[in-house]
Amino acid sequence: MFDHRGVFAFTIELWDLPTEAGIKDRKFIEWYRDHPHEEDLQILKWADEQIGEQAYVPGMNLTIPSWEKWN
């Protein structure tokens, strides 16, 4: 980003969440495109065990006034 816009940017480290959650024998990129719903639940279970209640935040409704003019 700095080369194009002169902006310093930082990102989090990429790590292998599915493997940490116990999902094995998969193709890395293809898995992110399509995988069974059960594996999402396996990751959620892992997050609950490792992080606790803060691992899941229920959805919420947001009102963004600047977007109303586009509807």
Measured between alpha carbons, how far is 16 from 34 in angstroms, rounded to an integer? 16
Model confidence pLDDT, tens digit, residues 30-71: 998 999 999 999 998 988 898 887 877 778 887 777 766 665
Measured between alpha carbons, how far is 37 from 52 in angstroms, rounded to an integer? 21
User: How much is the pLDDT for 39?
Assistant: 95
In this structure, the number of other CB atoms found within 10 A of the CB of residue 23 comes to: 19
User: How much is the pLDDT for 70?
Assistant: 61
Measured between alpha carbons, how far is 68 from 1 in angstroms, rounded to an integer? 31
User: How much is the pLDDT for 42?
Assistant: 94
User: How much is the pLDDT for 38?
Assistant: 96
Nearest of 56, 60, 64 to residue 40 by alpha carbon: 56
User: How much is the pLDDT for 32?
Assistant: 87
Measured between alpha carbons, how far is 19 from 26 in angstroms, rounded to an integer? 9
Whether residue 2 is predicted with pLDDT greater than 60 in this model: the reply is no
